[in-house]
């Protein structure tokens, strides 16, 4: 299978470039800029893309490229900083002219060539640079310029080396994806053959080789990653896999049914559900502090999972086929962010409600090379229920951190009803693709006066926290239509006893976090 190496020069653009290459149906892999020519050769890529980066090629210690890489005859595309590295290494001229370009910039094609062929003469592209390439290396054709940048793109068809000053991977660059396609398909001559179907086939084969005839277990959380990882392993080794689902009582309405009924029907997976609702409730009794709740939930989760695991291990030993493997839904961004080779170090905050890391199993991680949107596509291809595949992020500690105050069964039931109404109305209004997630929070320690029917009430407020985000690191509050908000508010106050007020959280992150606890 063809592979494109994306050389990371230190900005966040490398992941975006890798995703865009895959959107063009070609596999891609991110590598550090200190990779040597011989390491590149070993990987035998069909093309190389040099990413942008925050440095200036003039700075002492700025990231360099092993120049021998450009002698390997592998097609190369340099982007932004990568473009300047190419210009400098191949004998062109890069200057600090003091003329910076940031944001949307008009680009004028002077030639077009293969890279910009069939594109409009004038187009908007996204720039972010201080230095300029003022002279292309000899043998290179200049393809485009802007008002301040004389050499905004170049190519050398004989050497199959190309470069652009702007960021084609960014959606604001009008012809961005087309530039990448031109490079990949025409410049490098790669066939677009990578798709969900062959990822599944490849992973299934790999899992079979790794696991042999041993047994495997996995924890299902109801979330996308564990659901898809388990479904892939199940496709590979069938009933050698047992999935464990812990119902801690902090789940959303129908979530357990979704896993037990719909997910099992779609996959045929062997599932063990552990009903631990009572145990979690009594451990949380009297506790209001958010971090203490998190710790208790995390601890109970691990204990419960380990108990289930011990039982399964004993059963498996009895029939002489020990459990040797544990499935984890680690994704590619975790792998890249933790430095590549090793297993992802998941942020401790996000590990709450996850599995302990000292379990005595070898890991099976079939999603290690994939981005989230690819995992969803694979889940869909595997026939998993849309409610699971399209699910928005939901914290491991569940509704336990969406009740401000003590967690009780009554409060959980109330919040579950309100949350179900919000989800139903958001979906009906077609908002699911616009919002990142919408925590629904019960302020159990707050009461306010209301009037319902003929009487005065003294009930609790529900907070709606719909946000838009790219990665949950920053977020903005979603501007939902008033009619939709009115409908949600009416329904909650009418249908959920004990709630007499619905409020909207209009805080961005920062300063507010997405969750209230």
> Counting contacts by CB under 6 A, is residue 292 touching ligand XMP?
no
Residue number with CB closer to ligand XMP (195 or 351): 351
Selected range binding ligand XMP among 11-19, 360-368, 483-491, 507-515, rule: CB under 6 A: 507-515
> Counting contacts by CB under 6 A, is residue 113 touching ligand XMP?
no
Contacts for 454 with CB less than 8 Å, ≥ 6 apart: none
Find the binder of ligand XMP among 294, 368, 416, 460 (CB under 6 A).
294
> Counting contacts by CB under 6 A, is residue 509 touching ligand XMP?
yes
Minimum Å distance from CB 437 to ligand XMP? 6
Minimum Å distance from CB 514 to ligand XMP? 3
Q: How far is CA 160 from the centre of its chain?
A: 33
Q: How far is CA 150 from CA 54, 118, 131, 164, 165, in A?
A: 21, 21, 12, 12, 10
Minimum Å distance from CB 446 to ligand XMP? 19
Find the binder of ligand XMP among 24, 90, 352, 480 (CB under 6 A).
352
> Counting contacts by CB under 6 A, is residue 400 touching ligand XMP?
no
> Counting contacts by CB under 6 A, is residue 393 touching ligand XMP?
yes
Residue number with CB closer to ligand XMP (202 or 515): 515
Is position 80 annotated as part of the catalytic site? yes
> Counting contacts by CB under 6 A, is residue 514 touching ligand XMP?
yes
Minimum Å distance from CB 352 to ligand XMP? 4
Residues β-bridged to residue 379: none
Residue number with CB closer to ligand XMP (82 or 396): 396
> Counting contacts by CB under 6 A, is residue 515 touching ligand XMP?
yes
> Counting contacts by CB under 6 A, is residue 396 touching ligand XMP?
yes
Contacts for 304 with CB less than 8 Å, ≥ 6 apart: 246, 248, 274, 276, 279
Burial class (CB in 10 A: 0-12, 13-18, 19+), 351: middle
Restricting to residues 466-485, which ones interact with ligand XMP according to CB under 6 A? 472
Residue number with CB closer to ligand XMP (353 or 366): 353
Q: How far is CA 299 from the centre of its chain?
A: 26
- CA–CA dist 475, 478 (Å, integer): 9
> Counting contacts by CB under 6 A, is residue 260 touching ligand XMP?
no
Residue number with CB closer to ligand XMP (294 or 411): 294
Closest CA to 407 of 399, 418, 417: 399
- Selected catalytic residue, list 169, 174, 309, 517: 169
CB 241 within 8 A of CB 233: yes
Find the binder of ligand XMP among 42, 311, 350, 409 (CB under 6 A).
350
- CA–CA dist 229, 2 (Å, integer): 24
Selected range binding ligand XMP among 62-70, 169-177, 392-400, 493-501, rule: CB under 6 A: 392-400
The continuous run of DSSP H or E covering 275 comes out as strand 270-275
Residue number with CB closer to ligand XMP (286 or 510): 510
Minimum Å distance from CB 291 to ligand XMP? 9
CB 289 within 8 A of CB 403: no
Find the binder of ligand XMP among 82, 353, 400, 459 (CB under 6 A).
353
Burial class (CB in 10 A: 0-12, 13-18, 19+), 72: middle
Burial class (CB in 10 A: 0-12, 13-18, 19+), 360: exposed
Number of residues that make up the chain: 517
Positive or negative torsion for Cα 186, 187, 189, 193: negative
**Bond into 510 cis (ω within 30):** yes
Is position 129 annotated as part of the catalytic site? no
> Counting contacts by CB under 6 A, is residue 293 touching ligand XMP?
no
Residue number with CB closer to ligand XMP (209 or 349): 349
Is position 125 annotated as part of the catalytic site? no
Strand ordering across the sheet containing 362-364 = 270-275, 241-247, 215-220, 323-327, 362-364
Query: 161-185: string of b/e by CB count within 10 Å (b at 16+)?
Result: bbbbbbbbbbeebbbbebbbbbbbb
Report how many residues bind ligand XMP under the rule CB under 6 A.
15
Token pair for residue 165?
Answer: 């000053």
Residue number with CB closer to ligand XMP (243 or 352): 352
Selected range binding ligand XMP among 66-74, 181-189, 362-370, 391-399, rule: CB under 6 A: 391-399
- Selected catalytic residue, list 129, 167, 234, 460: 167
Strands 153-156 and 161-164 turn out to be antiparallel
Minimum Å distance from CB 308 to ligand XMP? 20
> Counting contacts by CB under 6 A, is residue 38 touching ligand XMP?
no
Minimum Å distance from CB 426 to ligand XMP? 16
Contacts for 426 with CB less than 8 Å, ≥ 6 apart: 432, 435, 438, 466, 484
> Counting contacts by CB under 6 A, is residue 508 touching ligand XMP?
no
Find the binder of ligand XMP among 437, 478, 493, 500 (CB under 6 A).
437
CB 270 within 8 A of CB 243: yes
CB 382 within 8 A of CB 225: no
Residues taking part in catalysis: 80, 167, 169
Residues at the interface with ligand XMP (CB under 6 A): 294, 349-350, 352-353, 393, 395-397, 437, 472, 509, 513-515
């Amino acid at each position: 299978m063809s592979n494109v190496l994306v050389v990371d020069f230190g900005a966040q653009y490398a992941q975006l470039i890798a995703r865009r290459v895959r959107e063009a149906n070609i596999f891609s892999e991110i590598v550090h800029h200190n990779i040597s020519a011989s390491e590149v050769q070993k990987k035998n890529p069909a093309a190389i893309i040099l990413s942008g980066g925050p440095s200036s090629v003039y700075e002492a210690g700025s990231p360099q490229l092993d120049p021998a890489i450009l002698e390997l005859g592998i097609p190369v595309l340099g982007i932004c900083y990568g473009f300047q590295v190419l210009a400098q290494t191949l004998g062109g001229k890069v200057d600090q002219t003091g003329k910076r370009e940031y944001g949307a910039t008009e680009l004028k094609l002077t030639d077009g060539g293969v890279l910009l062929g069939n594109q409009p003469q004038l187009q908007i592209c996204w720039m972010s640079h201080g230095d300029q390439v003022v002279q292309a290396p000899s043998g290179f054709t200049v393809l485009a310029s802007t008002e301040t940048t004389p050499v905004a793109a170049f190519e050398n068809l004989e050497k199959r080396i190309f470069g652009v000053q702007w960021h084609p991977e960014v959606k604001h660059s009008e012809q961005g994806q087309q530039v990448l396609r031109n490079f990949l398909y025409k410049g490098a001559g790669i066939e677009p053959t990578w798709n969900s179907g062959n990822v599944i086939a490849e992973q299934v084969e790999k899992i079979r080789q790794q696991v042999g005839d041993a047994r495997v277990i996995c924890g299902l959380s109801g979330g996308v990653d564990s659901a898809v990882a388990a479904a892939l392993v199940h496709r590979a080794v069938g009933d050698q896999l047992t999935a464990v689902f812990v119902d801690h009582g902090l789940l959303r309405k129908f979530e357990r049914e979704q896993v037990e009924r719909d997910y099992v029907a779609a996959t045929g997976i062997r599932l063990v559900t552990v009903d631990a609702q009572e145990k979690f409730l009594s451990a949380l009794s009297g506790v209001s502090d958010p971090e203490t709740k998190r710790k208790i939930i995390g601890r109970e989760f691990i204990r419960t999972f380990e108990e289930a695991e011990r039982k399964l291990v004993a059963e498996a030993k009895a029939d002489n086929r020990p459990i040797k493997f544990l499935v984890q839904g680690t994704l590619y961004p975790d792998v890249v962010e933790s430095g590549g080779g090793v297993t992802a170090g998941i942020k401790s905050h996000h590990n709450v409600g996850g599995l302990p890391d000292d379990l005595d199993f070898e890991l099976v991680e079939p999603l290690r090379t994939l981005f989230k949107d690819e995992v969803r596509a694979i889940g869909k291809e595997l026939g998993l229920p849309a409610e699971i595949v399209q699910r928005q992020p939901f914290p491991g500690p569940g509704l336990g951190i969406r009740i401000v105050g003590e967690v009780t069964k009554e409060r959980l039931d109330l919040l579950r009803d309100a949350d179900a109404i919000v989800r139903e109305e958001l979906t009906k209004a077609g908002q699911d693709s616009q919002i990142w997630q919408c925590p629904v929070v019960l302020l159990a320690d707050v009461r306010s006066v209301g009037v319902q029917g003929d009487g005065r009430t003294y009930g609790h407020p529900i907070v709606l926290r719909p946000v838009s985000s790219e990665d949950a690191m920053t977020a903005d509050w979603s501007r939902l239509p008033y009619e939709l908000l009115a409908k949600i508010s009416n329904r909650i106050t009418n249908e959920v006893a004990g709630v007499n007020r619905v409020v909207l959280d209009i805080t961005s992150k920062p300063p507010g976090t997405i969750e209230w606890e």
